[in-house]
Amino acid sequence: MTVDSTAARKPRRSSSKRAGKPAASPGQPELVQLLTPEGVRVEHPDYSIDLTPEELRGLYRDMVLTRRFDAEATTLQRQGELGLWASLLGQEAAQIGSGRATRPDDYVFPTYREHGVAWCRGVDPTNLLGMFRGVNHGGWDPNENNFHLYTIVIGSQALHATGYAMGVAKDGADSAVIAYFGDGASSQGDVAEAFTFSAVYNAPVVFFCQNNQWAISEPTERQTRVPLYQRAQGYGFPGVRVDGNDVLAVLAVTKAALERARTGQGPMLIEAFTYRMGAHTTSDDPTKYRRDEEREQWEAKDPILRLRAYLESEGNADETFFAELETEADALAKRVRDAVRTMPDPDNMAIFENIYADGHALVDEERAQFAAYQASFAEESN
């Protein structure tokens, strides 16, 4: 799906600000919302935000470029250039809103799907692709942008983030840490342990759970009998559910949570209620376990469409802006394609590097075995 074809819809209602109770789906608890799916600006008693037209356009640009990058990566996988890709389609607001809430000195622990957060942290998108092409184990220096390497072991980064945050507190620094994980990860012991430790040590960490409704083929009702954000209460820190497709609400809520952490008020859990519009990864076929109607319902809540509707109805972005952004997205897509196709293959022996800081006898033995194995091919061909 290209950005422009999805973003062309017009707002369905006037966008004048109105105060009122935030919307909730039937049978679901209320969630923090500042922009309705129709692009109408609403107020929330606990969370407010006041952005300039330029800042609003900036958030829109971030989401459009991230979606385009993601679409390009999916296509590259289909063309055999990547081994695998985990798409963020539908989760742009959750990631851009929270990513833009962080300060450069904050530290971010992502899963494998946080391409939008990486974008906000300043990690070059092409660097995200090396691991998925199988030419490196990460592709960026975590300390350059305070953005840790992608973590595949579900939930483990919640503990890494908690330990890091405890260190931040011991250093007396006023930065915060944010850990991303999914609804499925919330069932992991590591996440429960992270909640316990962070609460007891009052660690400056924000737990950002993107509830995208699915953990591969398992729906959220297989993970929990209570709304996920309510779990925080049992550990002794606040939890909040935010409309994860509303970039303004996510930004406001995450800023507040990070500020709490920075000012010594301890951890907080944010449940960003969103939807994984695509497959779990390119190896997955969601038509085997979920209905098209479900996806269609969520398409009506598209994070990019609603911000576009708001920008247009307020006269804060014109056709030139949207056209230039499309050109910029095309250029980004081309840059990504060119970068992937020209990524050098790693040296065969590189796999033995960076395992132990000071080396290890077993690794040395394996390296020697592998070198001999490779040399045997040269002998055969002689």
Ligand X SMILES: Cc1ncc(C[n+]2csc(CCOP(=O)(O)OP(=O)(O)O)c2C)c(N)n1
Q: Would you say the C-alpha torsion 165, 168, 169, 174 has a positive or negative sign?
A: negative
In the list ligand X, Mg ion, none, the entry touching 8 (Cβ below 5 to 8 angstroms by class) is none
Cα 229 to the center of its chain, rounded Å = 18
Q: Which residue is nearest to ligand X (CB)?
A: 182
In the list ligand X, Mg ion, none, the entry touching 301 (Cβ below 5 to 8 angstroms by class) is none
Closest separation in Å from C-beta 317 to ligand X: 30
In the list Mg ion, ligand X, none, the entry touching 270 (Cβ below 5 to 8 angstroms by class) is none
Q: Where are the strands (E) in the chain, listed by range? A: 107-109, 177-182, 205-211, 214-215, 218-219, 239-243, 268-273
Closest separation in Å from C-beta 231 to ligand X: 14
* Chain positions contacting ligand X, by CB under 6 A: 113, 152-154, 181-185, 212, 214-216, 276, 280
Closest separation in Å from C-beta 141 to Mg ion: 28
Q: Which of residues 49 and 205 has its CB atom nearest to ligand X in the complex?
A: 205
In the list Mg ion, ligand X, none, the entry touching 68 (Cβ below 5 to 8 angstroms by class) is none
Q: Which of residues 31 and 42 has its CB atom nearest to ligand X in the complex?
A: 31
> What whole-number distance in Å separates Cα of residue 59 and Cα of residue 40?
16
> What whole-number distance in Å separates Cα of residue 310 and Cα of residue 229?
28
**Residue 115 a catalytic site member:** no
Q: How far apart are the first and last CA of the chain?
A: 52
The single residue of 276, 306, 308, 310 carrying the catalytic annotation is: 276
In the list ligand X, Mg ion, none, the entry touching 87 (Cβ below 5 to 8 angstroms by class) is none
Q: Which of residues 49 and 272 has its CB atom nearest to ligand X in the complex?
A: 272
Number of helices (H) and strands (E) in the chain: give both, helices first.
14, 7
What would the DSSP string read from start to end of 280-325? SSTT--GGGTS-HHHHHHHHTT-HHHHHHHHHHHTT---HHHHHHH
DSSP 351: G
* Chain positions contacting Mg ion, by CB under 5 A: 182-184, 212, 215
Closest separation in Å from C-beta 376 to Mg ion: 45
**Residue 280 a catalytic site member:** yes
The single residue of 113, 115, 280, 306 carrying the catalytic annotation is: 280
Q: Is residue 352 within 8 Å of 366, Cβ to Cβ?
A: yes
Residues involved in catalysis: 276, 280, 289
